[in-house]
Amino acid sequence: MASQPSTARVRARNQPPEIPPFWHKLNAFFLFPFQSKPLTYAAFLSLCALAVTTSPLIGIFTVVGILLATARYSFKVAAMASMGVMRSADYDSTTSDPAWTHLPWKFLGVLVVHGLIIAFMAQASEGLADLGSLVSSLLIPATLMVLIQSCSLRSALNPAELLRAMAAVGLPYLLLCVFMLLLSMGMPMAWSLLVPLAPKTLIAPVLMFVVVYFSWVTASMIGYVMFQNHQKLDIDLVKEPEEILSGTGQGRAESPTARLARERDAEVADLVREGQVREAYDMAYDWQRANPDSLADQRRYHRVLLLTDKKDTLVWFTQKYLQRLLKERKGQEALQVHAATLAKAPDLVLESADLTLELAQLAWKGLDHKHALALLKGFDKRYLRHPTIPQAYELIARILHQGLGRTEPALAVYRALKDQHPQHASTQEVAWLLRDHTGETVPAAPVSSA
Q: How large is the average pLDDT for residues 424-429?
A: 88
Mean local confidence (pLDDT), 195-215: 90
In order, the DSSP letters of 256-309 are HHHHHHHHHHHHHHHHHHTT-HHHHHHHHHHHHHH-TT-HHHHHHHHHHHTTSS
Q: Which residues contact 14 (CB under 8 A, 6 or more apart)?
A: none
Q: Is the pLDDT of residue 13 over 50?
A: no
DSSP letter string, 58-100: HHHHHHHHHHHHHHHHHHHHHHHHHTT---GGGGGGSPPPGGG
Share of the chain above pLDDT 90, in %: 32
Tell me: pLDDT of 94 over 70. no
State whether residue 55 is helix, strand or coil: coil
pLDDT at 114 over 60: yes
Residue 268, pLDDT above cutoff 60: yes
Work out the average pLDDT over 249-254: 46
Rg (CA), the chain: 25
Whole-number pLDDT of residue 135: 93
Residue 178 has pLDDT above 90, yes or no: yes
CB atoms within 10 A of CB 388: 18
Contacts of 23 (CB under 8 A, 6+ apart): 172, 175, 179
Is the per-residue pLDDT at 252 higher than 90?
no
Q: Which pLDDT value is given to residue 6?
A: 41
Q: Is the pLDDT of residue 93 over 70?
A: no
Give the per-residue pLDDT at 244.
58
Mean pLDDT across 173-200: 90
pLDDT per residue as tens digits for the range 280-302: 889 999 998 888 888 888 888 99
Q: In terms of Cα–Cα distance, which of 393, 444, 436 is closest to 414?
A: 393
Report the distance separating Cα 66 and Cα 212, nearest Å: 9
Provide, rounded to the nearest whole percent, the portion of the chain with pLDDT above 70.
89
- Tell me if 48 sits within 8 A of 66, measured CB to CB: yes
* Chain mean pLDDT for the chain: 84
Show the domains of the chain with their CATH numbers.
Answer: 17-242 (no CATH), 255-345 (1.25.40), 349-450 (1.25.40.10)
Half-sphere exposure of 83 (CA within 13 A, CB side): 23
How far apart (Å, rounded) are the C-alpha atoms in residues 25 and 21? Answer: 7
**Per-residue pLDDT tens for 306-347?**
888 888 999 999 989 998 888 888 887 888 889 889 888 888
